[in-house]
Structure 1
Amino acid sequence: MKDQKIVLEEVFEKVENYTRTTFELHKLKFIGKSSSVVSILLLYVTLFIITLFFVSFINIALALLVGKWIGSYYLGFLIVSFFYLLIACLVYIFKDEISNKLQDTILLKILITPDEEEEK
């Protein structure tokens, strides 16, 4: 009877160790995924801000150039503004297709890590 009790205690101890180890493994995987998501988000936010500055300066230069050609700087800014209004209207018209494409791309980028790509 004592042998069965000792064996049972060993089994419970192994199950407890297994459970604790499995929990730690899942916790570490979650931390790894979270850090991956945060680093991707920070990268894209940084790239977005840099691109925003670049596009802003290019637009100012383009508006000044068009204004110089026309002879009136405010008309140059107005023409560039209407160009972006046209682009905004096109994006609004095709927003569902664009949204679906972006969601698919972002989800694939987040859910597939380099480790999983190597396993395939």
Structure 2
Amino acid sequence: MEDTFAKAEDLAEHVKEYINNRMDAVKLNTAEKSSKLAATVIASVVVAMFFITFLFFASTALAFVFSRLTGELWLGFLIVGGIYLLLGAVVWVLRERILQLPIMNALLRQLFTDDEDDDDE
């Protein structure tokens, strides 16, 4: 009888240890995925900042080109502003297809990829 209780206590101890190990594994996996996601977001923000800076200078240059063609400085900047207004309207109309779905898919892919592929390399 005592042998049965000893085995039951041993089994309970193994179950507790298994649960603790699984919880630690989940915590580590969550931390790893979160850090990868944060690194991707930070890298994307840095690249976006450089792209926005380039876009600002290119837009200014294009405005001056249109100003020379039209003879009026304000008209060149107005044309560039109109181009951005049209692009903004197109992006707004197509926002779900060109922004929301690709971003959601990229985030989900990053969060739910199997790490077994990384271990093979």
Could you state the TM-score of these two structures normalised by the residue count of structure 2? 0.83
1:72 pairs with 2:72 = yes
SS in 1 for 2:26: helix
Aligned Cα RMSD in Å? 2.1
1:23 pairs with 2:23 = yes
Instruction: Name the residue aligned to 1:101.
Output: 101
1:10-60 CA distances to partner (integer Å, 9 max, x unpaired)? 111111111110110111111111111111111111111111111011101
Distance 1:116-1:56 versus aligned 2 partners, 3 A rule: farther
Between the aligned partners of 1:108 and 1:16, the Cα distance in structure 2 is 32
SS in 2 for 1:101: helix
User: % of aligned pairs identical?
Assistant: 29
Structure 1 position 104, deviation (Å): 4.5
Higher relative contact order (CA 8 A, sep 6+): 2
Amino acid of the residue matched to residue 51 of structure 2? T
Could you state the TM-score of these two structures normalised by the residue count of structure 1? 0.84
1:51 pairs with 2:51 = yes
1:60 pairs with 2:60 = yes
Deviates more, 1:108-117 or 1:6-15: 108-117
Uncovered stretches (5+) of structure 2, i.e. residues with no partner? none
Distance 1:10-1:103 versus aligned 2 partners, 3 A rule: same
Uncovered stretches (5+) of structure 1, i.e. residues with no partner? none
Q: Would you say how many aligned residue pairs link Structure 1 and Structure 2?
A: 119
